[in-house]
Chains A and B, each alone.
Chain A
């Protein structure tokens, strides 16, 4: 490596890559062909670029399908330019001057990574390499043994080499790694025997147990969160998220200053309590209804998809049958034409065959048209049904929301009554209790208090309206999207089928034509 340092660093340019690809490509006759045709970089599966004195990784973006890349024994200082090589399985960067692990976040398929003999001090930035099996980090500058715990996340890791690092000098090094990475099979190119494993496990049992416990807790929390998120997602799909509780009610009062002030009036607390109960019950009704309707819609969609699938399958089977039949005949007639010597016979036969081809493509097209018609009818029927379902849903939700509004109005009246009563009492000076100053400020005259109560009421109604609007718009947009998608899918299917039929017809025709040409030439 130090000898190489003396040489001038080279740049990874196109020529260098071409040369390497050419050298490592196929041999003999195939090699001649390859030369003649040229090899595209994206067809290359394996590339070897060792001892090239490369300073910087570059120009590799074309190698999309590369599986194995060897860049060892160069003077690379930074891992870069590998983002596009997502298919990479095997990466060798040993004997370079790399100081930090980086730039590997897209290489999710990587199984074997070698960073031997570099200047790395810290193990990190490997999170994306979930399939990692072999990791070679020997002859580096890793000094912190505790950081090995980071490697616990790679469930498939079996081989690890860390020899030649400062940590390898630690007396507990081997035991420690065996204890914390129990799935490891080879460490520093030597198999870990069961005895060592047991010893290590016993030795570090307390700390590993604690670690495991923490990991389990973390896992459980993650799972919980995941479950909750999924549930919410489900509710969202039913358009009734956050209606299974007092969320809407709470949001009504969240920004309502007057409302909370008024709540402290005598008698209002009880009123609020009953109001909330009733309100929540209606919310729950909406929620349940929403889930039920969602299920209904889903079942409808499923049956529709199933039937359409069946119909398409059947049609395809028919089409395949037709093509297979034709194919057989076609092959037979081709061979007879080939064997025929009389020119007139050939011509008549070719004409016959041409007719057959036309007939086949007609038949296939007819089948396709028939399917299109049938599907259109079915799709229209489904569209009608789903729109009906959605409308019914909206209607019912709206009526439930109207109940909410009624409750709010009722509550408002009651509240106004209490407020006016209190006002009268205050005016008469009969009020027994002490009111907080800011509340008392509302009771200066009748207008103020009526305005305050009214504002609160308006706020509440606004919230309810908003929720309702949100629900209705989302349901409607879902419905239109769904129908659009179905139409579009059907259209693409149709287009593809038509294209396929034409393509096939063209091909068969071409075969016949080439035969004709050949015969004429002969």
Chain B
């Protein structure tokens, strides 16, 4: 302590020496500020004046009884470090006080420092020691974005008691976590602890933020989920014209006309842009009309992450309320008073007239950042210094140790207990598992998994207007659903619903978009084609058509389009299934089958079923631009003699790129037609099956929607009922096993040994007596037990006899109920008697054996074996 004090005194002396210099510097800065002030616009100046005036006024705001007060905290259970300060901490507080005094002396126009607020036990604690760096055991919390998201989800936001002042209380993170609510300082302290634990160079910042920021008001922000990712425009690199590349044909269009056209387009575009800008301006005006009178005075706390560690390329801010990251240039952050991590505390000496845009986060520079503790590491050195360091690295290494030795006063360890988040709480996340965030024209609701019994975890509602009255569309995210539903997208304006599924749906469904669940309506179903035997990718339906897309089939089918006609009304009213719509037209397309020559490989075939016409189009040959075609007209006619015409040349019209001889033959054409006939039948059957499948899927979907069964992972020990039962059974078995073992280890000699003086070796006489006593005792027990059973047996028999007697006496006067009662009693009594008899018999059988077993055991007992050996 002595040494420490000396050190501090030295420090103070040094500071005093510095004071003059600093005062000078301060003056300079003030002058500079004045110059700047003159330069800034009037509004800025006015604001500044206002600020000064306001700070002078000292409005006393009555402490609002926020829901999170000391009363709700059970102090008694908190550990000692919460309730008192260690000497080192006391010392630190003295240093801080001293520092604060000097600071207020030197910078009288700045607000007092936020150094040691009271904790939940009314004990002043230095802010740096409230940060408890902790690495969380969850891999999700290893990165800053997920970490911040967790903090913002986990805690409920409380406004500061006084929006213009830092709070007078700063609770430990453990308490905050327990109650799941806190103000911005609690948020940033917790986040900072976690980030430092995860290896980031993170700092808590005490500064000034915009109104939206301080109130966690996102209504003017666009919801990040609604922002569509910008499509990266890939500029096609035009390869330089290679040797022998052909020249494009000469462009004969008028260049003048093109230019005129271009001009016109540009004009239109400019006009549009202008209109758009005007609109924007109008909106801006509306926005700015609601300016905040306390702009620039609202105290806020957030987290600064400096570049360097964990491959962070650039320093940035994290707002702990919203978990969003901002650049250090952002307009929402209006100024910084001070910042701290678990090792040190820095005060911003730079001017914040232009928000935080001009701040340089070089904490090693004492001109810009006044530090509280000397000698702890200076996290960031200016590049120039770094270079110097590089030059005489060796000296530094030597000096480092010395410096630490004589100058540094280390920040005491954190008084806060280890931050712990149980897996249940981690999963539940938001307080009560639910959270609602209001964005600009959007509302985001979050739930913990398994909280809703339909698996809903997130819902984003977007609105048409700023007042959020007209719903535009709803997106719902689901988790752990057995039907693998992942996302439901409901467009309110068009009435279009789109369901997205993860792989694993029983029908391999991927996307299902529909307006109604009724069959034969507009709908699109997409499938995981790898999971399907028929390789179906997509099936589109309109009331009259059905289109299917395939991939990777052995018959190279790629596309099938079916046109349905109006349903024929039958006299007997059947259900829809037994009365399928008639198929009017089927178009099928095929991929090129490399095994066949192009002239024989069908690319498209059209069955016009009503016309009895079949059209074939073949694939194009490699070096041709036209493809072969063939059209079959199926007319069964009878010629003049009454014979059936089988095939005539006009029944098949064909165009062949390379005419071949054998295809001209009627026989060939006839065979081809017969084959096609068969295939038409198959295709029609396929169409019918597709319809059935749609019905089946719709039915299945409806069932799934109604049941909405949730799955549990087999690794989820809490929710998986089956495994829980199994585990419990196992535990029970283990417990029983344990009991049995305990019993086995029961020392039957103990009560007899206890009678003897302890610590003495047994004599033989004693041993023999011990054995005899033990045995006789056991014998007595056995006899007692036998007697007990016998007694019960006799008692039961007597009772029974008594009843029987009574029955015989009163048999005549008995009501049927009484008789029933008697009979049931009799059967029960007989049963008991029988059991007792059995037990007695069993006991008689086993008793001698048990006796012998005990004797045997006693002979083998290690304590007696020596003494009894000779005896035997």
Contact = CB atoms under 8 A, between A and B. Distances in A.
A complexed with B: yes
Interface of A: 26, 29-30, 32-34, 36-37, 39, 43, 303-304, 307-308, 310-312, 316, 319-320, 322-323, 327, 364, 370, 374-375, 377-378, 381-382, 493, 496-497, 500-501, 503-504, 507, 511, 514
Contact of A370 (B242, B249, B670): B249
B245 A37 contact: no
Nearest to A367: B625
Interface in B613-640: 617, 620, 623-627
29 contacts: A26-B667, A29-B646, A33-B647, A33-B670, A34-B667, A37-B665, A37-B666, A303-B242, A303-B244, A307-B245, A308-B244, A316-B624, A320-B620, A322-B625, A323-B625, A327-B617, A374-B246, A374-B247, A377-B246, A378-B244, A382-B244, A496-B623, A497-B625, A500-B626, A501-B625, A501-B626, A504-B655, A511-B653, A514-B653
Nearest to B631: A511
A378 B625 contact: no
Contacts of A310: 245
A500 B655 CA distance: 11
| A interface SS class | helix
B436 interface: no
Contacts of B626: 323, 500-501, 503-504
B662 interface: yes
Nearest to A307: B244
A508 to B, nearest CB: 8
Given A26-B667, A33-B646, A511-B653, A375 B623 contact: no
Contacts of A511: 653
Contact of A29 (B653, B657, B670): B670
B667 A33 contact: yes
Contacts of B244: 303-304, 307-308, 378, 381-382
B243 A307 contact: yes
Interface string B661-691: 0100111001100100000000000000000
A320 B603 CA distance: 14
B667 A30 contact: yes
Interface string B240-266: 001111110100000000000000000
A235 to B, nearest CB: 27
Contacts of B662: 43
B237 to A, nearest CB: 17
* 7 A-B pairs with the lowest CB-CB distances in the bound complex, closest first: A319-B625, A307-B244, A374-B246, A311-B246, A507-B655, A504-B626, A29-B646
A323 to B, nearest CB: 5
A308 B246 CA distance: 8
A322 B627 CA distance: 12
Contacts of A39: 667
Contacts of B653: 511, 514
A498 to B, nearest CB: 11
A502 to B, nearest CB: 11
Nearest to A505: B626
Interface string B155-177: 00000000000000000000000
Given A307-B245, A374-B249, A375-B246, A316 B667 contact: no
A338 to B, nearest CB: 9
Given A33-B666, A307-B244, A503-B626, 18 more contacts: A29-B646, A33-B646, A34-B667, A37-B667, A43-B665, A303-B243, A311-B245, A312-B623, A319-B625, A320-B625, A327-B617, A370-B249, A374-B246, A377-B247, A382-B244, A500-B626, A500-B657, A507-B655
A343 to B, nearest CB: 22
Contacts of A307: 242-246
Contacts of A316: 623-625
A500 B670 contact: no
A176 to B, nearest CB: 42
A515 to B, nearest CB: 11
Contacts of A303: 242-244
Contacts of B620: 320
A43 B668 CA distance: 10
A406 B137 CA distance: 89
Nearest to B608: A335
Nearest to B241: A307
Among B246, B627, B671, chain A packs the most CB atoms within 10 A around the CB of: B246
A357 to B, nearest CB: 13
A323 B626 CA distance: 7
Given A36-B666, A507-B655, A378 B246 contact: yes
A500 B662 CA distance: 20
Interface in B202-249: 242-247, 249
A503 B662 CA distance: 19
B671 A30 contact: yes
A493 B623 contact: yes
Contacts of B674: 30
Nearest to A300: B243
A34 B666 CA distance: 8
Contacts of A382: 244
Nearest to B657: A500
A500 B625 contact: yes
A84 B242 CA distance: 50
Contacts of B624: 316, 500
A503 B657 CA distance: 8
Nearest to A518: B650
A320 B674 CA distance: 30
B253 to A, nearest CB: 16
A496 B657 CA distance: 10
A116 B249 CA distance: 70
Nearest to B248: A374
Given A303-B243, A311-B246, A511-B653, A32 B646 contact: yes
Nearest to A369: B249
A39 B661 CA distance: 12
A364 B666 contact: no
Contacts of B623: 312, 316, 493, 496
A447 to B, nearest CB: 62
A315 to B, nearest CB: 8
Contacts of A26: 667, 671
Given A36-B666, A504-B655, A364 B625 contact: yes
A377 to B, nearest CB: 7
B678 to A, nearest CB: 14
Contacts of A375: 246
A307 to B, nearest CB: 4
A33 B651 CA distance: 14
A298 to B, nearest CB: 14
Nearest to A375: B246
Contacts of B247: 374, 377
B651 to A, nearest CB: 12
A89 B794 CA distance: 102
A101 B617 CA distance: 49
B607 to A, nearest CB: 14
A310 B239 CA distance: 14
Nearest to A314: B246
Nearest to A382: B244
A423 B438 CA distance: 121
A387 to B, nearest CB: 15
Contacts of A503: 626, 657
Contacts of A43: 662, 665
A334 to B, nearest CB: 10
A504 B625 CA distance: 10
Contacts of B655: 504, 507
A510 B679 CA distance: 29
Contacts of B243: 303-304, 307
Contacts of A32: 646
A319 B657 CA distance: 15
B807 to A, nearest CB: 87
A327 B647 CA distance: 27
Nearest to B620: A320
